[in-house]
Amino acid sequence: MLRVPHLKRYRPGAENDIAPPSQEALSFSFKWFAALDAYHRYRIEGLEHVPRSGPGLIVSHHSYIVIDTMLLFRRIYLRDGRIPRSLTDHAMFKIPVIRDLFYTWGVLDGTPENGLRVLADGQLALVMPGGGLEWSRPSTQAQSLRWGEHRGYARLAIRAGVPIIPTACPSADHLYIVPFDAWKVAKTLEQWLGMHRIPPMPIGFGLGPLPFPVRLTQYVAPPILPDVSPEAADDEVAVKRLDDRVREAITELLHRRSPAGS
């Protein structure tokens, strides 16, 4: 069996392990990310808004290939030696190789319980509320949010009593051309075939398998603090009010343009 240096082999239950990932494994992975950093001339405005210690919930839009998020993680790691713990769909841990990479990078199953545990441990967590719905957007919907009614992240922030740090990289939506809406295609197939939850499979075109050499500017907005007590996590009005504030902040970031026009 092929062995990849510093790649941890996934084991059942690893998606719930909140122990910080191996520093050695991260250092090895981030050496490869450094090439992407240079290729995309990556820069960040507002990194000071990401706390150097203590818990926080980073909330981002979901680009087609999340190179922007990986590069943000690398910069946080280089500055502070800490890595945000991504909360993702449980289905991702059923995919060979991907689950090994996720285990190596400390990605967690995106359950409310895991979110509360990792934040209570004083770590950073990251969520992309749009999930597969937003990931499968066509390029005609670039630089827009597609979150549907997904507000669980706001409920999590209220219950944990932690700040939300909004972030977005507008030009990340232009790394590949995505010609059709894979979410709509999947839903149509579900109806035709009478099947449940066919996963969307968006197809992107770049320079072959490589992304276009788009300059990436990451924007990080000031933290948004829940203005209610943890008990309000069960109050849908309070949850929606916080969600509205975050959506407004990230929408504003998605429409920013850097001085260089990236």
Cα–Cα distance measured from residue 23 to residue 26, given in angstroms and rounded to the nearest whole number: 5
User: Taking the domains of the chain in order of start, what are their residue ranges?
Assistant: 24-175+213-254
**Residue 261: pLDDT above 80?**
no
Contact 195, 164 (CB under 8 A): no
Q: Which element (helix H / strand E) includes 131?
A: helix 131-135
**What secondary structure does DSSP assign to 78-93, as a single string?**
HHHS---EEEE-GGGG
Which contacts (CB < 8 Å, 24+ apart) does range 95-101 have? 99/10, 99/14, 99/15, 100/4, 100/7, 100/8, 100/9, 100/10, 101/7
Inform me whether the pLDDT recorded for 129 exceeds 50.
yes
Give the number of C-alpha atoms closer than 13 A to the C-alpha of residue 219, restricted to the C-beta side: 20
Where is pLDDT greater, at 93 or 194?
93
Three-state secondary-structure class, residue 180 = coil
Written as one letter, the residue type at 192 is: W
pLDDT value of position 5: 57
The helix/strand/coil state of 45 is strand
Contact status, residue 213 vs residue 38, Cβ threshold 8 Å: no
Name the pLDDT band for 4 (thresholds 50, 70, 90).
low
Rg of the chain on CA atoms, in Å: 18
Q: Is a pLDDT exceeding 50 seen at residue 262? A: no
Strand pairing partners for 127?
A: 59
The pair of structure tokens assigned to 215 is: 């300059």
Q: What is the pLDDT of residue 151?
A: 97
Fold for the domain defined by 24-175+213-254: Glycerol-3-phosphate (1)-acyltransferase (3.40.1130)
Whether 26 and 73 have beta carbons less than 8 Å apart is answered as: no
pLDDT tens by residue, 148-160:
999 999 999 999 9
pLDDT for 109 equals 96
Percentage of residues of the chain with pLDDT beyond 90: 81
For residue 144, count other CB atoms closer than 10 A to its CB: 14
Is the pTM higher than 0.85? The answer reads yes
CB contact at 8 A, 163 and 225: yes
Say if residues 62 and 148 touch (Cβ distance below 8 Å). Answer: no
Residue 2 — very low, low, confident or very high, per pLDDT cuts 50/70/90? very low
Model confidence pLDDT, tens digit, residues 17-59: 999 988 887 888 888 899 999 999 999 999 999 999 999 999 9
Determine which helix (DSSP H) or strand (DSSP E) holds 164, and give its type and residue range: strand 164-168
